[in-house]
Amino acid sequence: MDKEPSFKKNPLSLQIDLSKFSQESFAPATEEEKRQQDVMGESTTFFKDGMRKLFRNPLAVMSIIFICLILLVIIFAPMVVPYKYEEILSVEGRRDKGAKNLAPFTYSELEQKYIENGGTRFPHIFGTDEMCRDYFIRVVYGTRVSFFIGLFAAIIVLIIGMLYGSISGYLGGKVDLIMMRIVDIIYSLPDMLMIILLSVVLQETLQFPSGTFLARLGTSMVSLFIVFGLLYWVGMARLIRGQILSIKENEYILAARSIGAKPGRIIRKHILPNCLSVIIISTALQIPSAIFTESFLSFVGIGVKAPMPSLGSLANAAREGLQSYPYKLVFPAVMICLIVLSLNLLGDGLRDAFDPKLKR
Amino acid sequence: MSETLVEVRNLKQYFPVKVGFVKTIPLKAVDDISFTIGKGETLGLVGESGCGKTTAGRSILRLYKPTGGEVIFDGELITDSNITRMRKKMQMVFQDPYSSLDPRMTVEDIIGEPLDVHKLCANRKERRERILELMEIVGLNAEHATRYAHEFSGGQRQRIGIARALAVRPEFIVCDEPVSALDVSIQAQVINMFEELQDKLGVAYLFIAHDLLVVHHISKRIAVMYLGKIVEIADADELNGHPIHPYTESLLSAVPIPDPDVTRARKRIILEGDVPSPLKRPSGCPFRTRCRYATEQCAEECPTLTDRGGGHEVACWVK
Amino acid sequence: MSETLLNVQNLHTSFFTDNGEVQAVNGVSFQLNPGEILGIVGESGSGKSVTAYSIMQILADTGRITEGKILFKGEDLTTWSEKKMQSFRGKNCSIIFQDPMTSLNPVFTIGSQLKEAVVLHTNRRGAEADARVIELLEAVGINEPEKRMKQYPFEHSGGMRQRVMIAMALACEPDILIADEPTTALDVTIQAQILELIQSLQKKMGMAVILVTHDLGVIADMCDNIVVMYGGRICERGTAREIFYNPKHEYTKGLLRSIPNVNNMKERLIPIEGTPINMLNLPKGCAFCPRCDAAMKICLQEVPEEIVINEDHKAACWMNIKAAYEEVSRNE
């Protein structure tokens, strides 16, 4: 350190050891080097970001797995299991009268004999019911029906609610006022009473050609759909109207108008994509509520028409032999619980992941 | 002054406000304002929040249907029937760079929207080229065309907004507080860009802002608004050097100047009280309730703009 | 002005978010003397508000002070319990926020909210507390305080509400008043009123004020001393005159060049290029180097140390060290 004295001339040298630097360190940095310090984050779309958040939520992932599993079972089980939901068990063409109320994974006497003689018989996974029908396949069909009703009802609600809500929200003013008062009136009608009344009326008037799917579902199910279509959309309509009203306040809508875009384009390109997440979420939450209503109605006895099973009617039928065969109530009841729970959890997960309002 | 591009004549914009069960009274957001903007010129419009400056900008573009008055663009009266065509010539840049860009659209689609609406591009290739050209004009990286607006910082978003406004090659842009939501270090970038675009493309601006220093820097002429009325209009330097209206005077003295010696040495005129609600406008001159010089005449009659020489117009009885 | 009221030493505050740790404040040190107005200036994301919140320990749930000391009259606040902090807030140190619209509870009258603050920190009760509320409202320049205190926040304008907030902050005559962007949401003429009020109250009560803002004009007008922040670090600090007339950090220089001033109306502004810093991805060296025109190799590699320019001025920029190095080399 022979240069020591020269440092003293400068007060800075007392604060920092200048000898560790060379001319090189004070050379100007290139643009390239500067840019390397300043990198833009990974490009993510709204959808990707939402999916990433969704798959980080353990409850939502579990629900997705469970729902997928159920879907696989209700699609493929009827192909694998050799029984039909309305089929009364028979062995080699003979009616198996002993196959009544079998416990899970047991065989009736006739079946046992048949197996001893070298025949193969598919196991009754959930046992059989009081009319000698395989209970597993009935639960599978019951789940199918419940799922179908849930999905279909949700779609009806979605279509009507979306149309009504977006017209009312976009037009605003007097149109909105009148449309929303109609919604208020419909909101005040007791829905259960309406369903029961309608199904009674429709039972008398509606006749479906026998053999069609609608006929097999029964008039009460059709009336359920009609009631859903008539009553349950109001919640969805209100929600979408509210969304549109708040989206309309955004400056990008004004920007689109200042560009000269027509109302149709604004709804299509700006408003609907921005309330899509809310629509998806509330549709996902609508499905379990429809399943629940259906189960309740079937349990009360005005649901699907026999022999078509639904989870509710299966539970209702199981009530009679509750003390001897409790598992017959457990299977459909647990199924309803799990489906509704997982759909609700999935809906919540979707909301957490996609709702722009919950974003930081 | 150069050739007139936009002429605003007695523009009025009232909004009905419900006061009772059915009774409504008009909220006079903009009350009888007139001014002209020359080709390639910038008019600054300043005032406090609620003075109607934003509403004025939107009424000129007919985003609201004006209650009265007319806007003449390049010799042509703007009406409901020709507005779609006129929107190719008049555009707008918004204040909030966060809410003025659709979060579900990519930069390319945002800038391309005016091209689609007015069918300005024959095919996809031409559209893409024009978008990239616009991005280059506003200093955006072409690689970012497929990104979403929320990935950008405030300054970059404002550039996207400007590119969208430029897409139709407008002659006139209403800039509604385009820098007030931006960081201090970014404001200068955007102000410079506005000035460079004006030099290059010859667009005229109506530059609305509440920051007098920014408006002074960018504008050739400045109009000061108070409660829906223009109280003073003059050349930028004239207005800053010799304000006549007492409101302009106190407004200028209230602006904090980023220079300790200057700002501490000058005398501030602190106004008493708040801006009255536009629903309860004082009679006569709107400013009289806070004015130091108010006389009886001010309460009786509203002053109109009168020329005090050299295009310096003031609406005041006293001064 | 001998004893230091507040001494912040090497403060580090981080937020632990889904996307990783965000180091909002990175080794900030400054002193506050009694009766001083200190300005903290910086743009969004510079850590200026987080510094203020760290002193009050009112950070969001994810935020934590990870290192450093905050000495208030010699006692370290970071070791205090929440209960002790509660009495510190309000009694020794109060804060007013940017948005006077959301800082007041809309369902209670102004008077009852002010009274609550008075009762909480003093032993005045009943009529005595009411008298104090009226006194406070008068002090912040509100006419007809008896009538005003029975009104709800929505019946007052933005400027009025900010006055009420100041009255609330002053309820027990704190030693320190932190004002976090107190006038950003207000109009120019109202801003002038509020700034005047803060100044006159500060003179009357002799408290110290920390003024957090992005507005250089406000800073120039109000402050004795200034701290300039960028990317969670202090760029430079010193007296107002030193910072404005003798800036020694490239960021401060750039900032002063880029704002419209009375003197540069006819010239193009000289902006700071680039985009604001991404706090999730801080550069290794000086936070400002990606946007700095004078950036050097060393700026990219190392964080500059703060050095003393003169007794009123400290700066953390490699340019100063370079100047010293060149001078030394020339003398050899």
Three-state secondary structure of A185-235: HHHCCCHHHHHHHHHHHHHHHCCCCCCCHHHHHCHHHHHHHHHHHHHHHHH
Distance from CA of C325 to the nearest CA of A (A): 6
User: Across the interface, do A260 and B84 touch by the CB < 8 Å criterion?
Assistant: yes
**Chain B residues touching residue A263 (CB < 8 angstroms):** none
Q: Do A33 and C297 touch (CB under 8 A)?
A: yes
Tell me B173's DSSP state. E
Taking only the tens place, the pLDDT of each residue in B178-229 is: 988 888 888 899 999 999 999 999 999 999 998 888 999 999 999 999 999 9
How close does chain C come to A12, measured CA to CA in Å? 6
CA angle C320–C324–C326, rounded 5-degree value? 115
A73 located within any domain: no
Contact yes or no for B260 and C214 at CB 8 A: no
Mean pLDDT of A258-275: 86
Q: pLDDT tens digits for A125-166?
A: 888 887 788 888 888 888 888 888 888 888 888 888 888 888
> Which DSSP symbol is given to C312?
T
DSSP state letters, A74-119:
HHHHHHHS---TTPPPEETTEE-TT-SSPPTT---HHHHHHHHTT-
C184 Cβ neighbours under 8 A, 6+ residues apart: C98, C213, C214, C215
A265: nearest CA in chain B? B117
Does pLDDT of A27 surpass 90? no
Q: How many CB atoms lie within 10 A of CB B39?
A: 16
Task: Kindly report the CATH number assigned to the domain that includes residue A171.
Answer: 1.10.3720.10
| Chain C CA closest to residue A56 | C18
**Contact between C288 and C275 (Cβ < 8 Å):** no
Q: Is B252 a member of any domain?
A: yes
Average pLDDT of B296-310?
87
CB B294, CB B288: distance < 8 Å: yes
Range of the domain at A194: 61-67+136-354
CA A318 to CA A321: how far, in whole Å? 6
pTM more than 0.90: no
- Whether residue B292 is contained in a domain is answered as yes
Lowest mean pLDDT among A274-283, A304-313, C82-91: A304-313
DSSP state of B143: G
Distance CA A265, CA B113 (A): 10
Query: Is C328 close to A15, i.e. CB distance below 8 A?
Result: no
Q: Domain total for chain B?
A: 1
The verdict on residue B12 lying in a domain is yes
Strands C176-180 and C93-96: parallel
Task: Mean pLDDT check: name the lowest of A318-327, B8-17, C26-35.
Answer: A318-327
- Provide the sign of the torsion angle of the four alpha carbons A170, A173, A175, A177, taken in this order: positive
Reported as type and span, the H/E element at residue A7 is: helix A4-8
Nearest to B254 among C189, C259, C264 (CB): C189
Q: How far is C7 from chain B (nearest CA, A)?
A: 25
Between the CA of residue C205 and those of C3, C143, C169, C198, what are the distances in Å? 17, 21, 13, 10
Taking one residue from B and the other from C, the number of pairs with CB-CB distance under 8 angstroms is 134
**Contacts of A among chains (3+ CB pairs under 8 A):** B, C
Output the pLDDT for position A11.
Answer: 58
The string of DSSP letters for A25-54 reads GGSBPPHHHHHHHSPPPPP--HHHHHHHHH
Quick check: C291 and C272 in contact, CB under 8 A?
yes
Question: Within 10 Å of residue C1's Cβ, how many Cβ atoms?
Answer: 9
**Angstrom distance (rounded) from CA B81 to CA B211:** 36
Q: What is residue B290's DSSP assignment?
A: G
* B270:C196 CB<8 A: yes
For position B2, what pLDDT does the model report?
A: 64
A208/A203 Cα distance (integer angstroms): 10
Nearest-CA residue of chain C relative to B236?
A: C265
CB contact under 8 A, A270 and B102: yes
Region C203-229: mean pLDDT is 92
The two tokens of residue B293 are 């010089």
Give how far C164 is from chain A: nearest CA, Å: 29
C182-185 contacts at long range (C-beta below 8 A, 24 or more positions apart): C182/C96, C182/C97, C182/C98, C182/C211, C182/C213, C183/C213, C183/C215, C183/C218, C184/C98, C184/C213, C184/C214, C184/C215, C185/C98, C185/C99, C185/C100, C185/C101, C185/C158
A226 occurs within a structural domain: yes
Write the DSSP string, B150-172: GGS-HHHHHHHHHHHHHTT--SE
pLDDT of residue A195: 74
Find the chain C residues whose C-beta atoms sit closer than 8 A to any C-beta of A: 17, 274-275, 278, 280-281, 283-285, 289-292, 294-301, 305, 307-308, 318, 320-322, 324-329, 331-332
Q: Does some domain include residue A234?
A: yes
Tokens encoding C261 = 């001033």
Closest CA to B180 of C179, C268, C222, C188: C188
pLDDT per position as a tens digit, A64-75: 999 999 999 988
CA separation for the pair C69, B300 (Å, rounded): 64
Cα nearest neighbour of A45 on chain B: B148
How far is the C-alpha of A169 from the C-alpha of A161, rounded, in Å?
A: 11
How many domains is chain A partitioned into structurally? 1
Q: Shortest CB distance from C327 goes to which of A10, A37, A360?
A: A10
pLDDT computed for residue A2 by the predictor: 37
| Model confidence at A359: pLDDT above 50 | no
Q: Which of C233, C238, C313 is nearest to C10 (CA)?
A: C233
Residue that has been written with the tokens 């667009």 in this structure: B203
Tell me the pLDDT band of B155, cut-offs 50, 70 and 90. confident
| Among the listed residues B25, B27, B24, B13, the one whose alpha carbon sits nearest the alpha carbon of residue B55 | B13
Contact list in C for residue B156 (CB cut-off 8 A) is: 275
Res. B121: pLDDT tops 50: yes
Q: Closest CB to A274: pick one of B61, B84, B104.
A: B104
- Structural domain includes residue B182: no
Residues of C in contact with B139 (CB under 8 A): none
Q: Tell me, yes or no, whether B23 lies in a domain.
A: yes
| B102 to chain A: closest CA residue | A252
C-alpha closest to that of B92 among B210, B175, B200 = B175
Nearest of B55, B90, B69 to residue B208 by alpha carbon: B55
Residue C106 makes CB contacts below 8 A (sequence gap 6+) with C152, C153, C154
For residue B281, what pLDDT is reported?
A: 83
CA separation, residue C237 to residues A307, B31, C315 (Å): 85, 49, 6
State the complex-level ipTM: 0.84
Asked if residue A110 belongs to a domain, the reply is no
In this structure, what are the phi and psi dihedrals at residue C130, rounded to the nearest 5 degrees? -60, -45
Confidence of residue A315 (pLDDT cuts 50, 70, 90): confident
Beta bridge partners of B46: B209, B224
Greater confidence (A14 vs A312) lies with A312
**Interior angle at CA C141, CA C137 and CA C144, nearest 5:** 65
Q: How far is B117 from chain C (nearest CA, A)?
A: 31
CB atoms within 10 A of CB B266: 12
Mean pLDDT lowest among B12-16, B125-129, B231-235, C188-192? C188-192
Query: CA A213, CA A222: separation in Å to the nearest integer?
Result: 11
* pLDDT bracket for residue A43 (50, 70, 90): low
> Is B186 near chain A, with CB under 8 Å?
no
Going by C-beta distance under 8 Å and a sequence separation of 6 or more, which residues neighbour residue B93?
Answer: B158, B161, B162, B165, B173, B174, B175, B176, B178
In-domain check, residue A163: yes
- By residue range, what is the domain housing residue B235? 4-40+47-80+206-314
Q: What is the CATH number of the domain that holds B251?
A: 3.40.50.300
pLDDT for residue C211: 94
* Identity of the residue in B216, B251, B263 whose CB atom sits nearest the CB atom of C260: B216
pLDDT digits (tens, 9 = 90+) for C269-284: 888 888 887 777 788 8
Amino acid at B77: L
The CA distance from B72 to B10, in Å, is: 11
Examine residue B193 and state whether it is found in any structural domain, yes or no.
no
Distance CA C188, CA C95 (A): 22
Tokens 């600090």 appear where?
Answer: C237
| A172 and chain B in contact, CB less than 8 A | no
Beta-carbon contacts below 8 Å between A and B:
72
Tell me the one-letter amino acid at B258. Answer: P
Question: CB of C235 within 8 A of CB of C252?
Answer: yes
Choose between B296 and A214: higher pLDDT: B296
pLDDT of the residue at A61: 92
Question: Quick check: is A121 in a domain?
Answer: no
